[in-house]
Chains A and B, each alone.
Chain A
């Protein structure tokens, strides 16, 4: 479970050596778009040696690998042998990519006697959005991540401050995530000098059902963590609901502050408390 994910270019030693101190729930070490073709091996070597030799690592580690049909993919997944990577972030996911990935990873894991690799799908093409129902059941998946910049390129549209243009894709990702018990992860807000815009965009994404948001700069993390955490008021409400429910065993329904409380509401309260505990705010 995460609220915030921070991209770190795999070829940046200064950011790598500080990766564990950032307040992100997960760090995404990027071997793909942030790395020029000539520096792919340099970045891969740096991330590998960082993972092997650092005594303190981020809480959760995600590796964004290059596309599965690129010449770098197999070299990238060699980093799984460090046993330090929690999830792979797979670019340009669609049905065909999902099927190929399953075969490639299954062969690789069998050959190297490794456990099943868990994956986050980067949904960043029109095909990827439309084919979500065809691959979101892939048992390796733990999350769906909307990549709005590439999606806008694919659609030949401009990204705007309101992000109205990605409403459909965001919603589709949220719905498919809920159906398949995955984490819907929102696209980064790319204007790092606009904290108000970040807050607005994060709050809106959260209101649509996104459970986490990626970031491209550490100064975005506190806002994202705050937006995607249960608020003190929500936690207090949830605690009271659970307390009353426990004091009335056998009562399916009860009233709280004039409102009917039934099983779905109790479940929601339990989720809020669970989240608060995981994110260490309770």
Chain B
């Protein structure tokens, strides 16, 4: 099962989530040098909030704020759950 949400527009991010045998998070960000840890925490916190384990998350970030990253991840998760 896989879900994708967001875009590669400026201030947005494209996030994909799919089922996996363990949780992995891959972040490619234009501001990664400064904000990698913050983006990672947003992803981890959101996965914890959603009670989600064993997923592969890939983030292509174009300078999105935390709430945008969280929103895109939530939508990607919803879409993954609908992808049966």
CB–CB B11/A45 < 8 A: no
Contacts of A16 in B (CB 8 A): 68
CB–CB B65/A13 < 8 A: yes
CB–CB A49/B67 < 8 A: yes
Contacts of A17 in B (CB 8 A): 11, 65, 68
Complex Cα–Cα for A102 and B77 (A)? 34
CB–CB B75/A13 < 8 A: no
**Within 8 Å of chain B (Cβ to Cβ): is A203?**
no
**Within 8 Å of chain A (Cβ to Cβ): is B66?**
yes
A38-80: which residues lie under 8 A (CB-CB) from chain B? Answer: 41-42, 45-46, 48-50, 52-54
**Within 8 Å of chain A (Cβ to Cβ): is B44?**
no
CB–CB B5/A13 < 8 A: no
Whether A42 contacts B5 in the complex (CB less than 8 A), given A13-B12, A17-B11, comes out as: yes
CB–CB B71/A45 < 8 A: yes
**Within 8 Å of chain B (Cβ to Cβ): is A14?**
yes
Contact with B along A1-30 (1 / 0, CB 8 A): 000000000000110110000000000000
B64-83: which residues lie under 8 A (CB-CB) from chain A? Answer: 64-68, 70-72, 74-75, 78
B28-82: which residues lie under 8 A (CB-CB) from chain A? Answer: 64-68, 70-72, 74-75, 78
Complex Cα–Cα for A16 and B66 (A)? 13
Complex Cα–Cα for A14 and B70 (A)? 15
CB–CB B11/A46 < 8 A: no
Contacts of B78 in A (CB 8 A): 41, 45
CB–CB A49/B71 < 8 A: yes
Whether A42 contacts B71 in the complex (CB less than 8 A), given A13-B65, A17-B65, comes out as: yes
Could you give 23 example pairs across A and B, Cβ below 8 Å? A13-B9, A13-B11, A13-B64, A13-B68, A16-B68, A17-B11, A41-B78, A42-B6, A42-B71, A42-B72, A42-B75, A45-B71, A45-B75, A45-B78, A46-B67, A46-B68, A48-B71, A49-B67, A49-B68, A49-B71, A49-B74, A50-B67, A53-B66
